[in-house]
Amino acid sequence: MTNITLRRHLTDKGHDPDLIFLLEDIASACRSTAYEVRNGPLKGNLGLTDSTNVQGEDQKPLDIIANDIFVETCANSPRLAALVSEEIEEVVWLKEPEEGDYLLFFDPLDGSSNLDTNLSVGTIFSIMRVTKDGDRNVLKKGSDQIVAGYALYGPATMLVLAHGHGVQSFTLHQGSGIFRLTHPSLTIKQDTPEFAINASRQRFWDAPIQQYVDECLQGKEGPRGKDFNMRWVASMVAEVHRILMRGGVFLYPLDDANRAKGGRLRLLYEVAPMAMVIEAAGGAGSTGTERILDLLPSEPHQRVATILGSKSEVDYIVDLHTK
């Protein structure tokens, strides 16, 4: 087992102490959330609540528990000015913003529909900076992120970070509660014949997505000249983590059923953080027509079309849209 802990890794990279403080709070929140997820059935925290979130989606008890953990834990960070959560309609301001303060965006429990079947779920997060005193603008491009990452609550609890030094993955040691570096300098394979998409929505897809999936399903006999595997877990964290570890592409495109909303996944605290992770590992992220990290959101809970993964596959899909 590696001896490099999360704290040592962050300090060795020379990060600002206030940023390290915030990242350690995020790691603590992920550790606590992993515990609640692991013990959800024993505590009676599965099923649904009587409430919905800002998107009108049914909330699970663990959605609310995970959100509360993040708000309470990360509010301790002295330079954290605001939080933007999937589960809270308004921006939560903790202090009068000053230049250099941090903004935290997060989806506290991605894939929570999988909880009742004991499949993998996770947390997605992103950190940006206040640019001037008194600036309460949280609508920033993904390219403004200084750190992005996610936690995966699976057979092992893993914390994945993209922070200017590539992509590193840390695994939680259950005995000590310490995150240790287990997967340094992750890069995405470019030629993996694997794609993840919700095929039940096929009747709604636009022509470029229809063509891409059809070509993949034709296998060696088709224009791609090779067999593909199709995957779908209904958890963005699980899908993206698999792609990060072994390549492929994840698609939740704009279609006739979600076009009026702008797409399915949220830009600021789901898609942009994952796009930063994927690009830092050598992959690409696009809506089909635009680079995800170049998008300027119009509101905190904006939705967007999403194509993430191996650069060769993303480029191919973008080319289909261009044609």
Annotated binding site for Mg(2+): 86, 107, 109-110, 270
pLDDT tens digits, residue range 63-118? 999 999 999 999 999 999 999 999 999 999 999 999 999 999 999 999 998 888 89
CB count within 10 Å of CB 303 equals 20
Count of CA atoms in the C-beta half-sphere (13 A) of 113: 8
pLDDT score of 59: 78
Q: Name beta bridge partners: 81.
A: none
Task: In whole angstroms, give the CA distance from residue 71 to residue 106.
Answer: 10
Distance CA 50, CA 58 (A): 8
- The pLDDT of residue 134 is above 60: yes
- Answer whether residue 44 shows pLDDT above 90: no
Q: Per the structure block, which two tokens stand in for 215? A: 């070509």
Distance, CA of 60 to CA of 58 (rounded, Å): 7
pLDDT of residue 161 exceeding 90: yes
Of 132, 242, 122, nearest in space to 188 by CA: 242
pLDDT digits 0-9 by tens, 252-265:
999 999 999 999 99
Query: Which among 152, 98, 90, 99 is positioned nearest to 125, based on CA atoms?
Result: 152
The alpha carbon dihedral of 177, 9, 278, 59 has a sign of positive
| Residues 6 or more apart in contact with residue 168 via CB below 8 angstroms | 9, 160, 161, 181, 183, 184, 185, 186
Place of tokens 């600021």: 268
% of the chain at pLDDT higher than 90: 85
Res 1 pLDDT > 50: no
In this predicted structure, the answer to whether residue 292 has a pLDDT above a threshold of 50 is yes
Radius of gyration of the chain (CA): 19
| Phi/psi-derived region of residue 118, left when phi > 0, alpha when psi is between -120 and 50, beta in every other case | left
Which parts are annotated binding residues?
86, 107, 109-113, 198, 270
Q: Which two tokens stand for residue 188?
A: 């995405």
| Band (219; pLDDT cuts 50, 70, 90) | very high
Q: What is the pLDDT of residue 165?
A: 73
- Amino acid at residue number 214: D
Determine phi and psi for 305, rounding to 5 degrees. Answer: -65, 150
Q: Kind and range of the H or E element at 298?
A: none
The predicted structure's pLDDT at residue 236: 97
Buried-exposed string 87-98: b where 16+ CB fall within 10 A, e elsewhere: bbeebeebeebe
The DSSP annotation for 226-269 comes to S--EEE--S-HHHHHHHHHHH--EEEE--BTTTGGGT-SEEIII
Dist. CA 111–CA 308, nearest whole Å: 17
Give the pLDDT mean for 178-182.
97
Instruction: Report all structural domains of the chain as residue ranges with CATH numbers, in order of start.
Output: 6-183 (3.30.540.10), 194-322 (3.40.190.80)
Binding residues for substrate: 110-113, 198
Q: Dihedral of the CA atoms 243, 273, 183, 74 (nearest 10)?
A: -140
For 140-151, the pLDDT digits (tens) are 999 999 999 999
The model carries a pTM of 0.95
CA angle 58, 62, 68 (to 5 degrees): 105
pLDDT of residue 55: 64
When the pLDDT of each residue in the chain is averaged and rounded to a whole number, the result is 94
